[in-house]
Structure 1
Amino acid sequence: MRTVTRTVTTGLSDALAPVPAPPTYGLGCLGVLAAAVSIGTFLGGAIGGKWFSDGPAHEPPEFSGWHLSPQDLPAEPPPAYEFLGWISAFALVAAVLAFALVVRRRAAFTRITRRRHHAEELWSYGWYCHRCGTVHFADAPGEDRNPLSLQRFREKVWERGGYGDLAAQQRAVDPARS
């Protein structure tokens, strides 16, 4: 036997959320991929191109007299690994930029939601009437008892938290109408 725990989020719980949805971190996955490409191409170039060896990467063939014998010539020219260094550098820059954007987004979300406790306090006074599809405040100080639409409830709660301007961007969707 095993126990599986899952978080199920409904449209109604999304509409009544006391805070906006946090930013996604798909860009961070792209940064990890770019970092892996950077490391892989650097190691491939360093090992294959012998970038850190003491002597030249490819020794010139030895002369036997004034002419070269066919045995002295290599069968095919050695591959050039310099392009791997450029790929590694570009991938490293992409990884650093991706990680910087993820950190910046996370810091901005934290800064925006720093007054979340005020929003959650007002949110705790609200109750949803499933029959009429509206939200009411029960004994909330400074709030009237008129029924509110899901969007209006979101606006009031998010304004209390200091991020009410996001309510217009992230509209509450009525689950009964969708």
Structure 2
Amino acid sequence: MSRTRYTCPSCDRDDLVQAVPAVYLAGRDAVTSRERDSDGDMRTVTRTVSTGLSDALAPMPAPPTYAIGCLGVLAAAVSIGTFLGGVLAGKWFRDEPADEPQESQWPGGWSAPEVPAAAPPDLDFLGWISAFALLAAVLVFAVMLRRRATFARLTRRRHHAEELWSHGWYCHRCGTVHFEDVPGEDRTPLSLQRFRERVWEHGGYGDLAGERRVVDSVRD
């Protein structure tokens, strides 16, 4: 059974016309590499590498990055470390001995001169550092959860965008996209930016298309 071939409304040819989902998937690849972690141990890391064209044809915006989470983990580690430092130094959770006068007797009944005890180091700053670091960690994780919830709320209608997106066709010669077999949509060739706006508006997050614009130079 032969596949239906659509012509580009700009050049009226079909040899370089390809379905948008196929172009999008062809430009994405999983790359695995070996890297050293912070402890110096080797680990396997898999990342998704995509082309500019694939990103331009994405049916929805990329999810927010969580690089700020590293700051939260660091703050939590500082909080725990300073707290344990205060505990091990005996600043907290220790029984204070009762202040009793101690008198030493030398031979012959002479009293030894009293030697003042050395004052313990002031480690109150560890408690403040631990508290502020814990507060910073909580704030960072709260921001991450809020970003995740906001993104999920904005993209809850992504299936509508993907439905329209799946009817898009890209011409590699002209660098334009058009729709086929979509009621209410004509075959007018669209720029990558205009295609993004139409698809993302269908999903309810069209405002983001104006903020995350397609680079004009994106082509094959």
TM-score (norm 1): 0.86
> Aligned with 1:118: secondary structure?
helix
Distance 2:100 2:127 in 1: 23
Q: Per-residue deviation at 1:59?
A: 7.6
How far 1:63 moved relative to its partner? 4.5
Sequence identity (%): 72
Pairs aligned (count): 170
1:51 is paired with a residue whose SS is: coil
Look up the equivalent residue of 2:57 and give its one-letter code: L
TM-superposed deviation, 1:97? 0.4
2:95 to 45, 54, 73: 54
Aligned to 1:167: 209
Q: Which of residues 19, 34, 47 is equivalent to 2:75?
A: 34
Deviations 1:18-72 (Å, cap 9, x if unpaired)? 101111111111111101110110010111134101225x989945447324xx6
Say which structure is richer in strand.
2
User: 1:1-34 CA deviation, whole Å, 9 max, x = no partner?
Assistant: xx94653200001111110111111111111110
Corresponding letter in the other structure for 2:59: P
In the alignment, structure 1 residue 67 sits paired with structure 2 residue 109: no
- What secondary structure is seen at the aligned counterpart in 1 of 2:82? helix
CA distance in 1 between counterparts of 2:100 and 2:166 reads 79
What is residue 93 of structure 1 aligned with on the other side? 135
> What stretches of structure 2 of length at least 5 have no aligned partner?
1-30, 33-45, 105-110
Matches within 5 A, 1:138-177: 138-176=180-218
In 1, the alpha carbon distance for the partners of 2:90 and 2:101 equals 18
Report the secondary structure of 1:114's partner residue: coil
CA contact (8 A) 1:61 1:73 kept: no
Match of 1:122 among 143, 158, 164: 164
Letter in 2 for 1:137: F
Gaps of 5+ in 1: none
Q: Does 1:20 align with 2:66?
A: no
User: Which residue does the alignment assign to 2:12?
Assistant: none
Distance in 2, matches of 1:85 and 1:18, equals: 49
Higher alpha-carbon Rg:
2
Contact 1:12 1:174 in 2 (8 A): no
Give the conservation status (yes or no) of the 8 Å contact 2:52–2:218: no
Structure 1 vs Structure 2 CA RMSD? 2.3
**Contact 2:91/2:123 (8 A) holds in 1:** no
Higher helix share: 1
Higher relative contact order (CA 8 A, sep 6+): 1
